[in-house]
Structure 1
Amino acid sequence: MPYVFPPPAQAAVPVAGSDAVFPVHRIYCVGRNYAEHAEEMGHSGREAPFFFMKPADAVLPVAAGTLGRMAYPGMTAELHHEIELVVAIGKGGADIAAAAALAHVWGYAVGLDMTRRDLQAEAKKLGRPWCTGKSFERAAPIGPITPLAAAGAIGSAAIALTVNGVVRQRSSIDKLIWNVAETIEHLSRYYVLQPGDLIFTGTPAGVAAVAPGDVLEGAIDGLDSLRLLIVEGAGG
């Protein structure tokens, strides 16, 4: 059966040290998964993990050693950065036990959960979904995915973000409220995970606004860094 128009290209992310690319199926995000970030957003305690999604084509892949470009999106005056460890799923499944979860991981990457914070805050106030605040064009910049075997001891890695050379966010992966294995266990109760899924695992404290001309650099020990320039323009 012919398509009525050509289908869009497959969203994909580069693989570190390879010409291969990782095809993206879905993008899942974990909310408030660092205690200090939960506190700065007005919450506290180790709440049960909760999830939201971005469309696969929100991914903005940035190759190693390059400066990506993200157009400042429309309908916001408060675009925030959120640096995150991204888990790339290589083996699908449902109801995955935490003890078996890492067998489903293909690799890791540095990602940014870019957020139209003013729209998200308004949605929260009205009890509405966060989609306009979280799910928009190029809302998920990501660096190359490092295969699991080459990523090293990611569970204790440092994570940091600078804006124009000034540190905004700094923490370590072992401060996740729900670690990678636990996150996969919880998420796979709600969704059948598939190869190609990406999980943005949550951001440390220090989220703040960026503006056109700002250069963001996200780093996690053992992974390729992610560099991003915010440029003028709406809609990506």
Structure 2
Amino acid sequence: MKLLRYGPAGQEKPGILDRDGKIRDLAGVVDDIAGDALSPAGLAKLRALDPATLPLVAGSPRLGACVGRVGKFVAVGLNYSDHAAETGAKVPEEPILFMKATSSIVGPNDTVVIPKNSRKTDWEVELAIIIGTKANYVSEADALSHVAGYCVVNDVSEREFQAERGGQWTKGKSADTFGPMGPWLVTPDEIADVQALDMFLDVSGTRRQTGNTRTMIFGVKFLVHYISQFMTLHPGDVITTGTPPGVGLGMKPVPVFLKPGDEMHLGIQGLGEQRQRVVAYEG
């Protein structure tokens, strides 16, 4: 299944994509793509529906983030061997974890705002894991049973805030609009091998990132297991798992960063695509 949320920001309704790629309304079935709806029982209830019997959503509404009421937005740094190489960083022995503020989450095609005083806003196409059932000290063998699905995330980052202003990475990862998520949550049964998905990101028509989830240092199963050793993961929590090479920070001989007027286009095989226009902060 491909589950989604559509409508004005803050007023999104739950939906499902039918076989023809049209949005069908789920508001009469679940209140949101969140919480119990992401459990095995909740997903089974949705899977039993015939989307053709659900109300058709007219037009092309705005898509919101594909998950509602996200409790934790956990991120993994330097998790692609080829990305670590381009930044000159040592391959980590254990996953590098940081948090993105949930207030950074926006829809997949919403505008991305360069923060006030930013000089180094960057892009990162990433595979995200959406938790469906509570995970606490889970084994690697059992990890995938806690996953409701996967989606695309653009882990937008301000590199000066992240690396040159002291403290942890969170401050460079959490600005408003720095977490485009979606277009939809894709359930695991639609993904033959989550560790073999092609990824790309273009900036204003120029291909910047080309990669595949096979070069992840720590795979999906291990990450769910590992993170659950340090915090309990709850339904609707999101883990974004790192980016392949081609970020602006790694450009040679001179890094390249986002500027107002740029457009990002990114996607992951089987999980859909995003498009964002970049604007300057006005406040």
Does residue 221 (structure 1) correspond to residue 274 (structure 2)? The answer is no
- Whose relative contact order is higher, 1 or 2, with alpha carbons under 8 Å and at least 6 apart? 1
* TM-score between the two structures when normalised by the length of structure 2: 0.72
Q: 1:75 to 1:84 in 2, by over 3 A?
A: same
For residue 194 of structure 1, what is the amino acid of its counterpart? H
Higher mean C-alpha displacement, 128-137 vs 37-46: 37-46
Q: Does residue 157 of structure 2 align to residue 115 of structure 1? A: yes
- Distance, in Å, in 1 between the alignment partners of 2:238 and 2:169 is 19
**Residue number in structure 1 paired with 2:172:** 133
Offset of residue 185 of structure 1: 0.9
Q: Which runs of 5+ in 1 are unaligned?
A: 1-8
Q: Mapping of 1:178-193 within 5 angstroms? A: 178-193=218-233
Separation of aligned partners in 1, 2:181 and 2:146: 20
Normalising by structure 1, we get a TM-score of 0.86
1:155 aligned counterpart, secondary structure = coil
CA–CA distance in structure 1, aligned partners of residues 126 and 133 of structure 2? 21
Q: How far, CA to CA, are the matches of 2:13 and 2:196 in structure 1?
A: 24
Matches within 5 A, 1:1-236: 17=17, 19=25, 21=33, 22-23=67-68, 24-62=70-108, 67-123=109-165, 126=166, 128-143=167-182, 144-208=184-248, 209-234=257-282
SS at match of 1:190: coil
Helix, strand or coil: the match of 2:243? coil
Asked whether the 8 Å contact 1:15–1:146 carries over to 2, the reply is: no
- RMSD, aligned CA: 2.1
CA contact (8 A) 1:154 1:221 kept: no
Q: Distance in 1 between matches of 2:123 and 2:87?
A: 14
Letter in 1 for 2:139: A
- Give 1:226 deviation, angstroms: 1.1
Offset at residue 154 of structure 1 (A)? 2.5
SS of the counterpart of 2:229? Answer: helix
| Inter-CA distance 145–226: structure 2 relative to 1 (3 Å threshold) | same
Paired AA for residue 155 in structure 1: Q
Mapped partners of 1:156, 1:116: distance in 2: 29
**Any idea what the Cα deviations from partners look like across 1:149-182, whole Å, max 9, x if unmatched?**
2334322110111112211011101110000001
**For the pair shown, which has the larger CA radius of gyration, 1 or 2?**
2
Q: How many Å separate the matches in 2 of 1:207 and 1:198?
A: 22
Cα pair 1:120 1:130 within 8 Å, conserved: yes
Distance 1:137 1:194, change over 3 A: same
Cα distance, 1:122–1:25 mapped onto 2, change above 3 Å: same
Q: Find the residue that maps to 1:98 and give its secondary structure.
A: coil
* Structure 2: runs of 5+ lacking an equivalent: 1-8, 18-23, 27-32, 34-66, 249-256
Amino acid aligned to 1:146: V
- Separation in 2, partners of 1:30, 1:60: 19
- 8 Å CA contact retained: 1:83, 1:161: yes
User: 1:15–1:134: structure 2 CA closer, same or farther, 3 Å change rule?
Assistant: farther
Cα distance in 2 between the residues matched to 1:153 and 1:36: 20
CA–CA separation in structure 2 for the residues paired with 1:76 and 1:194: 33
Following the alignment from structure 1 to structure 2, what is the Cα–Cα distance between the partners of residues 35 and 12?
37
